[in-house]
């Protein structure tokens, strides 16, 4: 029997993530959405692509969480996405209701899963899912850092005309305007990026990374990014399924790491079978540390708005 990965929300991110996971051919997939027929239809369509692409993953979809029973990993992508002019934080009230309700259903049907949260505003929704689940912190992780870092790495790679594979970087902090790209730790095959790019150009790339989500929203007009987000979520799911213990930036509840407690923030985590195996503490410069703390304040502020 293959294990099951459940994806909640059959919209752009959820459906594309399901497609990517099916193409890995590792697990069976269960896709859930409130909209009648949507998850079922997309699951069927994806199943029918199997013979052409050569995967045997069984893919089921529906509105009933029974299909998620015993899932090994559950990814929450349900909720509203941004439209032009909206910030991620504008989504907080509507999505808090959805994520709370979905998490409670997940706990009933897949009590031993690792939960990966994708819904925005990411850090607050991850914190909410952790609280609503009552699970230990290592089993609830949020996806944002892999995406923000991928954006940063792709802009750097094109500026330097080098493969994306040769650009090593981490973007930490909350998933929003206060995110913290660690420029000091950004290297190209071991060479610090500050030696390769003039400071203005590096600053412009950092800013474009911060605005990366909004840039896509502005172009699409009717929704937000999903190809890169689903790729980032798939990498995290794969790390859990294969117990890779790869260190990736992701949203985790802090318990003293980086001098913070009781707040979910983007930090490097070692991701493996049990979820967060370890929060990795990297050395921050004084500026990065100050930016990181400001980012934590922004997350806390949003949580207090959410609490009402």
By CB under 6 A, name the binding residues for ligand TXD: 8-14, 32-35, 38, 77-82, 91, 95, 98, 101-102, 118-120, 122, 143-144, 147, 175, 223-226, 229
Q: How far is the CB of 84 from ligand TXD (least distance, A)?
A: 13
Name the DSSP class of 48: T
Residue nearest ligand TXD, CB atom distance = 11
Tell me if 10 sits within 8 A of 79, measured CB to CB: no
- For ligand TXD, the closer of residues 34 and 246 by Cβ is 34
Q: Which helix (H) or strand (E) holds 246?
A: strand 246-255
- Shorter beta-carbon distance to ligand TXD: residue 91 or 113: 91
Shortest Cβ 107–ligand TXD spacing (Å): 14
- Nearest CA among 305, 207, 295, 217 for reference residue 251: 295
Strand 275-279 relative to strand 261-272: parallel, antiparallel, unpaired? antiparallel
CA-to-CA distance for 223 and 216, rounded, in angstroms? 9
- Bin 34: left if φ > 0, else alpha if -120 < ψ < 50, else beta: alpha
Active site residue 175: yes
Closer CB to ligand TXD, residue 225 or residue 260? 225
In angstroms, the Cα distances linking 95 to 124, 149, 188, 203 are 10, 24, 38, 32
Residue placing its CB nearer to ligand TXD in the complex, 41 or 223 = 223
**Residue 186 dihedral angles phi and psi, to the nearest 5°:** -85, 125
Contact 292, 267 (CB under 8 A): no
Residue listed under structure tokens 């439209």: 83
Least distance to ligand TXD, CB of residue 285, Å: 25
Q: Between 12 and 57, whose beta carbon lies closer to ligand TXD?
A: 12
> What is the number of alpha carbons within 13 Å of residue 303 lying toward its C-beta?
21
Q: Which of 109, 138, 170, 175 is catalytic?
A: 175
- Name the minimum Å distance from CB 22 to ligand TXD: 17
In angstroms, what is the minimal distance from the CB of 283 to ligand TXD? 26
Cis status of the peptide bond prior to 125, with omega within 30 of 0: no
Catalytic residues: 175
């Amino acid at each position: 029997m293959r294990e099951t990965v459940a994806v909640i929300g059959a919209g752009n991110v959820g459906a594309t993530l399901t497609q990517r996971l099916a193409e890995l051919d590792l697990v069976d997939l269960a896709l859930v959405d409130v909209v009648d027929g949507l998850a079922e239809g997309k699951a069927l369509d994806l199943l029918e692509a199997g013979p052409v692409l050569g995967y045997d993953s069984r893919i089921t979809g529906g509105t009933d969480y029974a299909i998620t029973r015993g899932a090994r990993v559950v990814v929450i992508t349900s909720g509203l996405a941004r439209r032009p002019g909206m910030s991620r934080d504008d989504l907080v009230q509507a999505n808090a209701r959805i994520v709370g309700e979905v998490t409670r259903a997940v706990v009933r049907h897949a009590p031993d899963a690792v939960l990966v949260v994708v819904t925005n505003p990411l850090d607050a929704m991850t914190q909410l899912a952790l609280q609503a689940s009552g699970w230990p912190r290592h089993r609830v992780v949020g996806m944002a850092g892999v995406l923000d870092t991928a954006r940063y790495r792709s802009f750097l790679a094109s500026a330097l005309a080098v493969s994306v594979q040769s650009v090593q970087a981490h973007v930490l902090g909350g998933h929003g305007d206060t995110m913290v790209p660690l420029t000091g730790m950004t290297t190209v095959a071991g060479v610090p990026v500050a030696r390769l790019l003039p400071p203005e150009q590096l600053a412009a790339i950092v800013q474009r990374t911060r605005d990366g989500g909004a840039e896509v929203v502005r172009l699409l007009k009717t929704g937000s990014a999903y190809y890169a987000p689903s790729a980032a979520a798939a990498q995290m799911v794969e790390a859990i399924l294969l117990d890779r213990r790869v260190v990736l930036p992701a949203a985790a509840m802090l318990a003293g790491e980086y001098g913070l407690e009781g707040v979910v923030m983007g930090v490097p985590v070692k991701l493996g079978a049990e979820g967060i195996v370890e929060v990795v503490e990297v050395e921050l410069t004084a500026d990065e540390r100050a930016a990181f703390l400001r980012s934590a304040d922004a997350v806390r502020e949003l949580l207090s708005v959410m609490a009402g």
